[in-house]
Amino acid sequence: MNASNDQATALGDQPIAVVERDGVRYTLLGTAHVSRASVDAVEAAIGSGDYDAVAVELDAPRLQALTDPDALARLDLVQVIRTGRTAMFAANLALSTYQRRLAEQLGIEPGAELKRAALLGRERGLPVHLIDRDVGLTFKRASSKLGFWGRSKLAAGMLASLFADETVGSDEIEKLKQGDMLEASFGEFADDSPLLFETIIGERDRYMAAKLRAMSHDPERPSHVLAVVGAGHLKGMERYLREDTAPPAVVCGQLESLPHKSDIPWFTIVLALFVVGGFFWGFWQGGLDVGSDLLLQWVLATGILGALGCAIAGGHPLSIAVAFLASPITPLHPALASGTLSALTEAWVRKPTYADFMALRDDVQSVRGWWRNRVARVLLNFFLTSLGTAIGVWTGGLRMLGKLVG
């Protein structure tokens, strides 16, 4: 890594890399997301006046979360559920909760140096570029590469992290100082899964390098860019800045897309055919008694377990009733998912207040807080109702299969 002596002095002990390409000089400043020294290095670098643009390892939602604590209170929870972004909301909440635990333990806000870089750059009238990929999109790409059990493990780990209130271990903190916030948040999952690690770190290295290269095509092309990124991204970004020959727009387009899935929902079709076909077979072979028995067992297995999940989540009686009615027909169409319909009902009947949103990050630190906070309770409703229905579908399906082959 090459840099001038003056630059090295200004940036202290922070690792840096300098790359010149297409008429632009990029200085990559590797930071620790929980270090006061990194904040000082950012202030010294921008204060030097050597740079005419600043790039930061943030996306717009993360910057808003860092600079506008009240943004969460303006969220339309019903719209989040309707548009299928409940899991993404939970992922962002898990990241926020993890950061809150770190801040309380270490006395510094995780990502403070990124926030400082964005704000100080704007104060000095410099163009500020947010070069990281949206966290929700990263989560979607990561989960799409995992199998069913991998996704289940990831979801369970995220849910567990929302309930956790223990201190963050010293090994995890040291890893965070040298790495990346998302990598630390997903921790053991990234270690266990090369695919997950590649999505969280490797893809973002190339994505952020492409975002930097795109600046050379700007009408007002900067001559010297300061890029503030986690130290764990430094090596990969430097390599992509030097070697990647694909057009930046193509790279970003590829890494913002989701793996192609068939437009035909085969699993839903097969499951629906099995359920409906089983009913018809029962009526045809065994008459009204057998067919009615199969239908009743299916409704009870799925409906009761779906409603039980909603009840455990502290759902309103109307939400529990919706869960019971929706669970038997959930396999027939994704739009009729019991978790979604029950959570929508809960959010409508017990509409979260401004105070619920403001207290959300604190309330999810305790088990009792999850049932006390209306926003958290809607999330619990969604996950536990969905889980209960899924168990009910397998239970009812196996009972139906046993009846048909018995």
pLDDT one-digit tens code per residue, 233-258:
888 999 999 999 999 999 999 999 87
* Alpha-carbon separation of residue 155 from 64, 148, 151, 334 (angstroms): 25, 11, 6, 19
Whether the pLDDT of residue 38 is over 80: the answer is yes
The tally of CA atoms less than 13 A away on the side-chain side of residue 190 is 19
* Helical ranges in 257-316 per DSSP H: 266-312
Shared domain check, 353 and 317: yes
**Which of the listed residues 204, 235, 256 is the one where a domain comes to its end?**
256
Tell me, what's the pLDDT at 284?
74
**Cα–Cα distance measured from residue 313 to residue 306, given in angstroms and rounded to the nearest whole number:** 11
The Cβ of residue 404 has, within 10 Å, a number of other Cβ atoms equal to 16
Q: What is the pLDDT of residues 266-302, one digit of tens each?
A: 556 666 666 776 667 766 766 676 667 777 888 888 8
For residues 133 and 204, is the Cβ–Cβ distance under 8 A? yes
Where is pLDDT greater, at 304 or 141?
304
Of 204, 227, 256, the domain-final residue: 256
Q: Does residue 243 belong to any structural domain of this protein?
A: yes
Sign of CA dihedral 352, 357, 361, 362: negative
pLDDT band at 163 (very low <50, low <70, confident <90, very high): low
Query: 232, 256, 280 — which closes off a domain?
Result: 256
What pLDDT, on the 0 to 100 scale, is given for residue 37? Answer: 83
Please report, rounded to a whole number, the percentage of residues in the chain having pLDDT higher than 90.
Answer: 33
Regarding whether 391 and 330 lie in a shared domain, the answer is yes
Tell me the pLDDT tens digit for each residue of 291-334. Answer: 677 778 888 888 999 999 999 999 999 999 999 999 988 877 76
Mean pLDDT value of segment 34-49: 88
Q: For residues 95 and 141, give the distance between their C-alpha atoms in angstroms, rounded to a whole number.
A: 17
What integer is the mean pLDDT of 20-26?
Answer: 94
CA distance 131 to 240: 14
pTM beyond 0.75: the answer is no
Whether residue 124 is found in the same domain as residue 58: yes
Does position 3 have pLDDT exceeding 50, yes or no?
no
* pLDDT score of 156: 61
The Cα angle at residue 77 between residues 75 and 79, in degrees rounded to 5: 100
In the structure, what pLDDT confidence band is assigned to residue 51 with cuts at 50, 70 and 90? Answer: very high
User: Is 276 found in the same domain as 237?
Assistant: no
Residues 225 and 306 in one domain: no
Same domain, 9 and 143: yes
- 73 & 101 share domain: yes
User: Do 401 and 350 fall within a single domain?
Assistant: yes
Which pLDDT belongs to residue 118? 95
On whether both 131 and 206 belong to a single domain, the answer is yes
Which pairs from 154-160 meet CB under 8 Å and 24+ separation? Answer: 154/186, 154/189, 154/196, 155/87, 155/383, 157/186, 157/188, 157/189, 158/90, 158/91, 158/94, 159/90, 159/94, 159/383
Distance (Å, rounded) from C-alpha 406 to C-alpha 395?
16
Residue 270 or residue 216, greater confidence? 216
Do 306 and 393 fall within a single domain?
Answer: yes
pLDDT band at 194 (very low <50, low <70, confident <90, very high): low
pLDDT of residue 179: 55
Q: Does residue 261 lie within any of the structural domains? A: no
Q: At residue 50, does pLDDT exceed 50? A: yes
pLDDT band at 168 (very low <50, low <70, confident <90, very high): low
14-to-8, 32, 170 alpha-carbon distances in Å = 8, 8, 20
Give the integer Cα–Cα distance in Å for 188 and 201: 14
> CB under 8 Å to 11, separation ≥6 — which residues?
3, 29, 41, 44, 45
Q: Distance between CA 393 and CA 405 in Å, rounded?
A: 18
Side chain identity at 46, as an amino acid letter? Answer: I
pLDDT of res. 2: 45
217 and 363 within one domain: no
**How many domains are contained in the chain?**
2
pLDDT at 329: 86
Supply the DSSP symbol for 199. I
pLDDT at position 1 is: 43
Alpha helix (H) residue ranges in 134-265: 135-144, 148-163, 170-178, 181-186, 188-192, 194-197, 203-214, 234-243, 248-256
Q: Verify that 250 and 274 share a domain, yes or no.
A: no
Per-residue confidence (pLDDT) for residue 100, from 0 to 100: 67
Domain containing residue 304:
266-405
Joined together, the tokens standing for residue 323 give 């869960």
Among 109-118, 136-145, 185-194, the minimum mean pLDDT is found in 185-194
pLDDT band of 47, cuts 50, 70, 90: very high
For 79-105, what is each residue's pLDDT tens digit?
888 777 777 777 677 666 666 666 666
Q: Which amino acid is located at 345 in the chain?
A: T
CA distance 18 to 16: 7
In the beta sheet, which residues pair with residue 56?
130, 228
**DSSP-based three-state secondary structure for 192:** helix
How high is the pLDDT of residue 53? 96
Note the pLDDT of residue 303.
92
